[in-house]
Structure 1
Amino acid sequence: MTPQRDEDEVWRQIIASYHQPTETTSDNQPWPDSENLPPEPARRVVKRPDVETPPGEMPVQYPGDFHEPDFDDDRNDDEGHYEPPPPPPLPKTDTSTKIAWAALFGGPAYLLLAALFDWYLQGWVLFAAVACFIGGFVALVVRMGDGPPNDSGWDDGAVV
């Protein structure tokens, strides 16, 4: 026999013995008897009162059929409920920041509308829309500031 046929024969034996019951005794177990699990206890099956089960069939338990009894009927319903404090008001923005945001979104929005409605754009209008977008972005980045806050004092954190 060739090695391929030997391998095929081994696979056939494995498949043939797949459905045969195995006998497990404490002699051939790789673990001690104390680690064996006990057989599963019988599960409680809850039958829906409105559905009748034909004789000889097992009742079906559906998810959500079992309801935990409520032992704390007299407790306060608000117990453990967290209600966050109201958020602080939004910071007031100055006019130049509002104009920068409008330019940042207005330029591309105008170009998108012009493309959707097939408007004819002259060269200077196209340039103005792109310039508004770039100008708004630059204005917001310049105004962003990357320094420490003014009220931080002399100590600016840990120094290694």
Structure 2
Amino acid sequence: NDFKLKSTYGAGNDWPISYDELEPFYCDAEDVMSISGDPDMARMLPRSRPFPQPPHRMSTPDRMMKAAQPEQHFVMPTARARVATAQRTSCCANLRCWLCPVDAKFTVNNGLMHVFQHADVSVCLGAEVRRLDHSGGSVRSVAFMRNG
């Protein structure tokens, strides 16, 4: 349980929030990214909404593993479009996702560039977030340490 490392394993720190509190926001992000996923994942991580895209087809080895261990094998959620969207074509399954030749994989360029081009948004890589300043249920600013 990544959210309760200290209380579960005695190492690291517990998060001040739980998976259950964050889960609706995970779903929102998955909607934006048009994540494909198997409904079976809900057995491992409970979900309030289905994945926006259906799961990708299983390979022959995947099908064999699923048949042998149905409770332990499932299609992992992925940011590759199974079904074409307005911004992305469907995955061609060439197994070269890092060089996606058809732009089926979600990236900032095909899904969030409008956010990064907004004047109020800046990106700081390698930073460690120290505090979220919030008011009225929304984060207003982030306190961070560069090169954290």
TM-score for both structures, normalised by structure 1 = 0.22
TM-score for both structures, normalised by structure 2 = 0.23
Higher strand share: 2
Higher helix share: 1
Greater CA radius of gyration, 1 or 2? Answer: 1
